[in-house]
A and B are shown apart, each in its own frame.
Chain A
Amino acid sequence: MMEKETVAGGKPTRPKKKFDRHRADAIQAYSFLAPAFLVILVFFIAAFVFALYMSFNKVNMYNNQYTFRGLQNYAEIFKDNIALTALKNTSLFSLVVVPCQTVLALIIAYALSSKGIRFKKLFRLIYFLPTLTSSAALTLIFMFIFNVNGPVNGFLTGAGWLTKPINFLQEPQYALKVIMVMNIWSTVPNFMTVYLASLVDLPDSLYEAAEMDGANAWQKLRSITIPYLRPITTYVLLMGIIGTFQMFDQAYIFSNGSGGPDNSTLTVALMVYQYAFGQMNTMGYACALALFLAVVIYVVARLAEKLNGGNGLANN
């Protein structure tokens, strides 16, 4: 078929063959992509479109009743003080956790990649362990560590820094902070590995040249390592922002799903869950909240990317 057409077009033989090969390549490529695309189509695109549809409706999933209500679900988010509290908690969480985890991951990776450190592999293994722990188990362990009679309070009172133990789990001003510590602790190793993978490729000659010029460790980190890792930092920031804005499991376990004490651990994702799977037919509102969260994540992620100076590649 194709051959005839191209011949009819009066084109020489060579480009024709090339064209055929292109086509065959494309077909092959698409057929390799097809399974993944199918999965994405069903589980991401279709789900997203359906969520979008539901967000404009009042939904009763049981008898398939959808009542169109326009933008009302979205308008309610801005009238809803609880949603704003949830957004505030989530933003604060992200604002504290993302910079901490990025900086810590970078420093640990830098330390572990530098020469002259012994037992590197052992350290890498130890540092990576938190990531392997399931976050549900982790939450319970942290709840034990931070309880009124737990090790943290024991240490603080024992050292004389506190006269009375702090009820970390039930005081609203501490509850979210405990989750922050937990989240930083468990995500740093993951990002550290990402940084380490890139640092392996960093040519030693750059450091050697800097040393000849008399640069110390801090100057080397600032002027060589950090700029070199900029594209990776963008990735780490994006992943961090997305992960923290979607934080759900730790808050859920911590507060038994209530977001308490006093809404202090209520995150947007937890609120979405409460509205989607409570005893109410509020799936529509839950979808609106979820999409609102997606927009917020997108905007914040773009901002962070800009602040970090693009994807880094253009600048190098």
Chain B
Amino acid sequence: MKLGKKLMAVATIALAGLTMAACGGGNTASSSGSGSYKGQNLKIGVWIGSDQEKQGMNDLIKGFEKKTGARVTEKVYTDFNTQIQADLAGHKAPDVWYMDSAMYPFFQKQGVLQPLDSKTVKTSNFYPALIKAFSTNGKVYGAPKDTSTLALYVNNDMLKKTNTNINDVPKTYEDMIKWLPSFQAKLDTAYGKGKVHAMAYNQDMARNLYIMERNGGQPITKSGKANLASDQVVKNLDLYKQLVATGAAVTPKEIGQGDNGTAFGAGKVAMMEEGNWTYPVQKKQYKTNFTVLPMLSWEGKQGGMIFTVGWGEYAQSKVKPLANEWIKYVSSVATMKKYIETTGTLPSRPDVATDAKLDDNASLKVHLDANKYSTVWQAGTTLTTINTSYQNFVGKGLTGKTPLKSALESADKQANAAIDKAK
């Protein structure tokens, strides 16, 4: 049976070879280029968020297979952070995989990442903040694949219907908080009470971290303990409390929407702070008519978040040279340019941004410029635990049901109990 199958396979290949030789004549390029990695298999671990990303990934795989002659096996994760842990525990992780900047310190600490040499990742090619996000003690453990930043999205149709000029939209949080009630009143008149909210906000450290860290705020101590109830952090988070108090800011969940992008696309909110991944979705899927503005400044300083994903290499990989080759390939100017143009993400290299003429798109330029003032989503190995606890308790503090400080004290207590258990 097995032998039969093998024979069949050989016969098929032979036949295919004959056919190709017969048709193509001198066409050798199509059958696996340089061939030094022929017969090797590279397993990559990724997640896919949209059809565009799927297309982009298919292009990468095809290009790489053609270039090296190796085969690429793609493993698509649906719940990445859980599944990759299971794979790592079973010593069956892919040779290279996506890693979120927030998860990187954890992987690094577990010793599952291979340090990358300067030939594989030429650090000067990338935005410095992104390289820093994947470096520990002077060693680089990841190649930034792309980057996303937050910006303020405003629905033009809603502005028009409420007779509001885009220039009237405040540029600072201080002004925004004063302006929101009047804008909400106009929205209520135009659409009916409670139908459209002026602004979406999130109870999530991934969105709030840069505000929490303002003026020396330290939501997480150097030793990785939760420190959310510390004076400066509480003072900073009061901003969101004021925002909620306007009655015009809601979380997407409060109004029965999955996330900001859905709420904005469905016309339930007039403004949101969201990453550039929503840009193609709003354009193509929801066909929202919107303007992208820079993030609001607060206390005289602009801020936002940077989300970046890098390629990590498995320390136990058996095909490390091939894995290095993959990282070099996906980080090259031409490949990255094609990838970002397919997926609508922002490149991790400034030269690719110039090459792809991203500055010509006013909306994407806003996102690119945000790299300058934004904070990378990363804070040690306890961040996920602390964020879970934060999301659990911050709500009652922001709505004013309990003092913000005591809500955050509960969050600290719970997070630190969990952190202590791991000791």
Contact = CB atoms under 8 A, between A and B. Distances in A.
B302 interface: no
Interface string B78-102: 0001100100110000000000000
Contacts of A277: 81-82, 85
Contact of A275 (B112, B382, B418): B418
A261 B395 contact: yes
Nearest to A81: B417
A169 B257 CA distance: 12
Contacts of A280: 382, 385, 418-419, 421-422
B49 interface: no
B32 interface: no
Given A257-B388, A279-B383, A61 B89 contact: yes
A282 B421 contact: yes
Interface string B107-121: 000111000000000
A80 interface: yes
B35 interface: no
Contacts of A285: 421
Interface in A276-306: 277-282, 285
A280 B386 CA distance: 11
Given A62-B111, A278-B384, A169 B89 contact: no
* Cβ-closest 7 pairs across A and B: A147-B256, A260-B392, A61-B89, A280-B422, A144-B256, A62-B110, A258-B391
B392 A76 contact: no
A136 to B, nearest CB: 11
A62 B418 contact: no
For the side of the interface on A, what is the size category?
A: 35 or more
A169 B254 contact: yes
A82 interface: yes
Interface of A: 60-63, 76, 80, 82, 140, 143-150, 167, 169-170, 172, 255-263, 266, 274-275, 277-282, 285
B210 interface: no
Nearest to B90: A61
Decide if the interface of chain A is mainly helix, strand, loop or mixed.
Answer: loop
Contacts of A256: 391
Nearest to A259: B392
B392 A263 contact: yes
Given A149-B255, A149-B256, A278-B385, A82 B391 contact: no
B89 A62 contact: yes
B396 interface: yes
B253 A278 contact: no
A287 to B, nearest CB: 13
Nearest to B88: A62
B399 interface: yes
Given A82-B414, A282-B418, A169 B253 contact: yes
B335 interface: no
Contact of A172 (B85, B256, B383, B396): B396
Contacts of A80: 417
Nearest to A142: B256
A277 B381 CA distance: 13
A269 B106 CA distance: 24
Nearest to A285: B421
Contacts of A278: 384-385, 388, 418
